[in-house]
Structure 1
């Protein structure tokens, strides 16, 4: 039996599920009557999406479909950071959607302080873009998970708990 247990708090998403959601989005945009001739293009990069279309109303429709497809694929909606819609040449508009991945130092410090202040039997250490919680008792770690889950709504970031051992 190990002398201590730990888990990691991370903010990640499944890249393949995102690609699948974008593929479904493209198919639906091509098939829907109201979006068929809108010249809408959705490009995916490592850490952002770009949506280009004829009008901002079309972009809002595409955004709604994107959120639906992401929800069906079990992706948290908190990973999307929608930037403002910009006008580009040729009567086209574009919206950049940043993808949130990894815990920032500020959020890691906030979670670490929360755990240290409320739970004396566990320790929190920041490790790059994740936070490791360590304790001698699995029940204490479960309590730490519940404490962090309660705080998750205020943080506006999707949290996952990995490497529970």
Structure 2
């Protein structure tokens, strides 16, 4: 039976390149001279560090632009509350990969409500869709691309 998997992954190499480019731009900009502003990447967390909250927002805008130019979907970023001390502001951004249980249930509910003759099953951090007809699977892909889902979705392992 034909099937495919729905996943939510990002290219970590592209994220690393975007962080490096953002750091390079921050170090070259005049309004960030003699400040200890930077962007740090550690596994699945990006930390923005700047002297003030305003500069923190500017660094965030730079990072978003660099990520967008490298085709990294911004919906995969989860922002935590910014913390500010006397002379430093920090914000931690988590990079979400995989489909969590709540979103997987929403996706399977969308597929079942569509009325197509396919089955959707949650398998860990991905959703597998199987059906008898290839056209039904392609209709599911088209329907999910149009739907408003909180995560960026990729469709992989299309098997006939």
TM-score (norm. length: structure 1): 0.91
Equivalent residues of 1:50, 1:97 under 8 A apart: yes
Aligned mate of 2:78, from 75, 78, 81: 81
The answer for the alignment partner of 2:62 in structure 1 is 65
Q: Unaligned regions of 5+ residues in structure 2, if any? A: none
Q: Which is worse superposed, 78-87 or 53-62?
A: 78-87
Could you give the per-residue CA deviations for residues 59-87 of structure 1, whole angstroms, max 9, x where no partner exists?
11110011100010000010111222101
Number of residue pairs aligned between Structure 1 and Structure 2? 159
Superposed, which structure 2 residues align to 1:1-165 within 5 Å?
4-88=1-85, 91-151=87-147, 153=148, 155-165=149-159
What is the root-mean-square deviation of aligned Cα atoms in Å? 1.2
Distance 1:40 1:7 in 2: 44
Equivalent residues of 1:119, 1:144 under 8 A apart: no
Distance 1:9 1:54 in 2: 41
Equivalent residues of 2:6, 2:155 under 8 A apart: yes
Q: CA deviation at 1:41?
A: 2.4
